[in-house]
Amino acid sequence: MDAITNTFALSCAIVVVLCAWKIVNMIWVRPKKLDKFLKNQGFKGNKYRFLFGDTKDLSMMFQQSKSNSKHIDIDDGDKILSQAVGFSLQSLKKHGRSYITWMGWKPRVAIMDPELIKDVLTKINDFQKPKNNPLFML
């Protein structure tokens, strides 16, 4: 009976450690690796901030634009644009035409260079998924 209890406790401990590692990997290790990889590829942007990324800044900017949104004339395009997509506009001005933003622990990459977009789209075909499951091929 003592061996069964020890085996069960050890199994539970292993499951807890594996789950903890998976969470740490998801919210810290992987985003830091992605941040470094994207910066090495030439993308600029804010560094990854634990758990929330840029969502706090995005939320604050949205709240400010709501509180400042009095009557806006249709001809005032800059004000409308800054209120609708203020965070993206700010990131574009700050980091250039290809930048990273963080929505939680997931990066969002914005590419506004037509040549770079063409390059990315041509490389997508290089990484096609296999049509058949390789485990069931005869």
Q: Where are the domains of the chain?
A: 2-123
Q: Which whole-number Å values give the CA distances from 33 to 40, 47, 52, 104, in the listed order?
A: 11, 11, 16, 15
Which tens digits make up the pLDDT trace of 30-83? 999 999 999 998 889 888 888 888 888 887 777 776 666 555 555 555 555 666
Give pLDDT, residue 138: 47
Q: How many CB atoms lie within 10 A of CB 61?
A: 19
Q: Which 8-state DSSP code applies to residue 113?
A: -
Question: Is the per-residue pLDDT at 8 higher than 70?
Answer: yes
Pairing label, strands 106-111, 98-103: antiparallel
Q: Is the pTM of this model over 0.85?
A: no
Task: Pick the range with the lowest mean pLDDT from 2-16, 47-61, 80-94.
Answer: 80-94
Q: 109 or 81: which carries more pLDDT confidence?
A: 109
Calculate the average pLDDT of the chain: 80
